[in-house]
Chain A
Amino acid sequence: RKEVEQDPGPFNVPEGATVAFNCTYSNSASQSFFWYRQDCRKEPKLLMSVYSSGNEDGRFTAQLNRASQYISLLIRDSKLSDSATYLCVVNELGSSASKIIFGSGTRLSIRP
C-alpha cells in the first residue's frame, strides 16, 4: 500500500464548479498534513496546511479525519487559474526522523 494515495484524475470541470479531492495516508503516526499546488514545469508550492479542526482559505477548504486517515480539499467557484496538479503531502515519522511524503497528485483542469 502506498504511503499517501490520491485519485490521479484528471478532473475536468467548468469554471464556477465545486470540486473535491481526497487523499488517504497509511502511517497513523503522521504529524502534519498539507496541500501543495504544482503548475506545469514548476516546483510545488504550499497551498494550505490541514488542521484537525478543518480550515478555510477563501475558496479553499481543507479537512483532516485522523480516525479514517483521510484528508480532503474542496475548491468552490473554481477559476481558470486553479488548473494545476494538487498534491497531498504528509509529514510522517520515519525510523529516525520525520520525512515528507507526496501523493501522486490530482490533475485539475478548469474549462471556460
Chain B
Amino acid sequence: SAVISQKPSRDICQRGTSLTIQCQVDSQVTMMFWYRQQPGQSLTLIATANQGSEATYESGFVIDKFPISRPNLTFSTLTVSNMSPEDSSIYLCSAGQGGTEAFFGQGTRLTVV
C-alpha cells in the first residue's frame, strides 16, 4: 500500500487567484492521478500526472486551467488557475501501480468566494 499526504486540506480563495495542491507519496509509484469531486457527485478524473512529461488530460479539462507537475515518482502538484466559484470542489490525489488499486490522499476542500 501507499500513504499519500495531500495539502492543503482545505482553503478558501478569492476568485481570480490560483491555488497549488501538493501530493506526496511515501513510496515510488508508477501512476498518479488527480480527481475532482463536486458535492454529491462521484469522482471525475482530471488528468494523469506523467513523470517527466506533460500530464494527460481528460475531456473537459485543459492544461491552462489545471497545470500539473510531476517531477519524480513520489510527488505531484495540481494548480487550479484563475479560480471561479464553479471550481469549488474537493480535489483528490491518487496513486497506484498499473493494474492495481489506487490509494487516495485525504483531499483538498476548495471554496472559491
Q: Are A43 and B33 in contact (CB under 8 A)?
A: no
B45 at the interface (CB under 8 A from A): yes
Q: Are A96 and B56 in contact (CB under 8 A)?
A: yes
Q: Roughly how many angstroms separate A89 CA and B99 CA in the complex, as a whole number? A: 12
Q: Are B104 and A44 in contact (CB under 8 A)?
A: yes
Q: Are B45 and A105 in contact (CB under 8 A)?
A: no
Residues in B with CB closer than 8 Å to A80 are none
Can you list 25 residue pairs at the A/B interface with Cβ under 8 Å? A31-B98, A34-B101, A43-B92, A43-B104, A43-B105, A45-B104, A89-B101, A91-B99, A91-B102, A95-B56, A96-B56, A97-B31, A97-B56, A97-B98, A98-B31, A98-B98, A98-B99, A99-B31, A99-B45, A99-B56, A100-B31, A100-B33, A102-B42, A102-B44, A104-B42
Q: What is the chain B residue whose CB lies nearest that of A45? A: B104
Chain B residues touching A, majority SS:
strand
Q: Are A103 and B42 in contact (CB under 8 A)?
A: yes
Interface residues on B, range: 20 to 34
> How distant is B17 from chain A, measured CB to nearest CB, in Å?
25
Residues in B with CB closer than 8 Å to A102 are 35, 42-45
Q: Roughly how many angstroms separate A31 CA and B101 CA in the complex, as a whole number? A: 11
Q: Are B48 and A94 in contact (CB under 8 A)?
A: yes
B94 at the interface (CB under 8 A from A): yes
Interface string of A24-46 (1 = CB under 8 A from B): 00000001101000000011111
Q: Roughly how many angstroms separate A98 CA and B81 CA in the complex, as a whole number? A: 27
Q: What are the 8 A-B residue pairs with the smallest beta carbon separation, nearest first?
A: A43-B104, A102-B43, A104-B42, A105-B42, A46-B101, A100-B102, A31-B99, A98-B98
From B43, B56, B98, B100, A44 is in contact (CB under 8 Å) with B43
A22 at the interface (CB under 8 A from B): no
Residues in A with CB closer than 8 Å to B100 are 32, 91
Q: Are B56 and A94 in contact (CB under 8 A)?
A: yes
Interface string of A78-112 (1 = CB under 8 A from B): 00000001010101001111111111110000000
